[in-house]
Structure 1
């Protein structure tokens, strides 16, 4: 059996020290195959975002091991792309130049980009075409709607062809219609050339629409309560959300989240 592309082995995380220490993650183990689309759901403050930071190397585990692509993670890794709830586009750069940013700073692309920009510019334009932003390449962020900014943010995260895409509530600040449009955009990008994705979201419909594997986490300190495989055929559409299997899976996840939010009595 092949080793998981992303592997957490009894990983814990504590913020602070001594009396100020705050446990964020109880011993957590999981394995994610290469090309798998995973969603992580759970109550607010359960450690979902911390989990992404551990995988990316932005945080160091208090104990346990984090391994990505057969390498132990001890520092920020280069094969990752990230997108957040806030698009964080640089306000002085055009849409095209925002998308090109990873090519300018991530090795080995940085050296290649300096030698020959043309292939990178063409890739950036192709990504923008794919998400419906053709014609907006020279617009500044303030000239784009929130949904358009988030589309550009996804393109930027994929610009350097990362093997691993980490998404932290990327559609959480958008209206329902725009959010659902972007589910289809992300699914389309992933289906063209599947890369490994870990999506953190509070939206259970979003998790089921996009992911093939869903992890439910407990309240802080977070731990894995449930791993659910979801094999509804792709491409999924909004009509898929009315499928009996989708509705049943949604009810099951909601029940587990409700259980996860319930405080555990100090004495049983």
Structure 2
């Protein structure tokens, strides 16, 4: 059985095959439906490129990319995406920013006008779920960085994506806010059970959130290891200070250090 997200022997070069930069070479990865997967590796190894491939923003030169048993040849409508920069539109309120995908993604786009009340209620309920009840009428400049990132997660989820792709979504936040949002993400995944692929440099983040952590080599990137994380869910934040947790973090750090040294 193939995974919900499946990359097989993927090769991708930026800038032309002859004199370009080989970003990925022989990369394979399989993520099960409902699984929370994290991808870590040395800087520049192709983690963000992997995300673009899985969402159909770019296509590989060779190999195959499948999502939900369909080969990816263009943007994947069942995917939601959140990045390190929330990129909130400054002229729209928080609620209007959250609802933006509903204006773009079918079938919601066709239904938005006739079912607007129900969609607004859905967006407001997501805002409440992440602790932003009552902030829907505020503009981005009236929110802290952490609050904007909470709204960004709501925007990524408002159209009920089966797949959520996260590219360093908490990397620009302070440590305390980051841990708060880890717990928000933990609870959202626990409730919605969507499939998640998280790209991160933060090994604690990867181990806390993921069911499996995939380790990439230095560029050209490929998978060199995967680590199952077997702590019971829901995971308390205090887990991140326990010896067994930090043993996994140090194990992953060692693998990445070895990958960098081998480059």
Tell me the residue number matched to 2:234: 235
Tell me the residue number matched to 1:178: 177
Shift of 1:34: 0.3
Tell me the residue number matched to 2:160: 161
CA distance in 2 between partners of 1:33 and 1:3 (Å): 8
Tell me the residue number matched to 1:110: 109
Paired residues for 1:188-227 under 5 Å:
188-227=187-226
Q: Spell out, residue by residue over 1:137-180, the C-alpha distance to the aligned partner (whole angstroms, 9 max, x if none).
A: 10000010000000000000000000000000000000000000
CA distance in 2 between partners of 1:19 and 1:163 (Å): 37
Shift of 1:18: 4.9
CA distance in 1 between partners of 2:19 and 2:155 (Å): 37
Tell me the residue number matched to 2:4: 5
1:23 partnered with 2:22:
yes
| Runs ≥4 residues deviating over 3 A | none
Tell me the residue number matched to 2:186: 187
1:62 partnered with 2:61:
yes
Q: Spell out, residue by residue over 1:73-104, the C-alpha distance to the aligned partner (whole angstroms, 9 max, x if none).
A: 00111000000000001110000000011111
Paired residues for 1:128-147 under 5 Å:
128-147=127-146
Tell me the residue number matched to 1:49: 48
Tell me the residue number matched to 2:86: 87
1:260 partnered with 2:259:
yes
SS of residue in 1 equivalent to 2:249: helix
CA distance in 2 between partners of 1:96 and 1:207 (Å): 29
CA distance in 1 between partners of 2:235 and 2:89 (Å): 33
SS of residue in 2 equivalent to 1:262: helix
SS of residue in 2 equivalent to 1:133: coil
Name the TM-score, length of structure 2 as normaliser: 0.98
Shift of 1:248: 1.2
CA distance in 1 between partners of 2:212 and 2:6 (Å): 15
Q: Spell out, residue by residue over 1:52-73, the C-alpha distance to the aligned partner (whole angstroms, 9 max, x if none).
A: 0000000101100001001000
CA distance in 1 between partners of 2:40 and 2:3 (Å): 20
SS of residue in 2 equivalent to 1:20: coil
Shift of 1:231: 1.0
Name the CA shift for 1:106/1:18 in 2 (closer, same or farther; >3 Å): closer
CA distance in 1 between partners of 2:230 and 2:192 (Å): 18
Instruction: Please report the RMSD computed on the Cα atoms of aligned residues, expressed in angstroms.
Output: 0.9
CA distance in 1 between partners of 2:99 and 2:139 (Å): 14
Shift of 1:238: 2.0
CA distance in 1 between partners of 2:244 and 2:107 (Å): 44
Q: Give the stretch that moved more between structures: 150-159 or 110-119.
A: 110-119
Tell me the residue number matched to 1:246: 245
Shift of 1:29: 1.0
